[in-house]
Amino acid sequence: MPQTQKQKIGQIGEGVACKFLVKQEYEILDRNYRKKWGEIDIVSKKAQKIHFIEVKAVSHETGYLPEENVHSWKLKRLGRAIQTYLLENKVSDETEWQLDVMAVFLDFKTRKAKIRITENVIL
């Protein structure tokens, strides 16, 4: 099935987010971790803390904040996916983790992107 424009923008946004994280000395552990009950865009690690990252990418100024699209039902799905990831990967209960939301603003004309991170989102 061909990708929608929204999916393409999302995929590009996730790529930009990964490059940004690597430059900030994060280690990328996983991408697009999918379960029936939710998906985690990026799983990364920095300074012994795991960061589960939800990426919201937009290709133009919309007048709203992309991170506002992470609604309570989305947080619930992310929480379940995170718990599954922690169990499946036998992550110690001692390991710290947090959920971050990255808004990626893509400007295809200038081929530049702006990133805004909301760290440690409460589930």
Domain ranges of the chain: 5-118
> Which DSSP string corresponds to 63-109?
SS-GGGG--HHHHHHHHHHHHHHHHHTT--TTSEEEEEEEEEEEETT
With a cut of 80, say whether residue 64 has pLDDT above it.
Answer: no
- Summarize pLDDT for 71-113 with one digit per residue, the tens: 999 999 999 999 999 999 999 999 999 999 999 999 988 989 9
Mean pLDDT, the chain, rounded, equals 94
Q: Is residue 61 scored above 80 in pLDDT?
A: no
Res. 65 pLDDT band, cuts 50 70 90: confident
Domain 5-118 top-level CATH class? alpha beta
- How crowded is residue 34: how many other Cβ atoms within 10 Å of its Cβ? 9
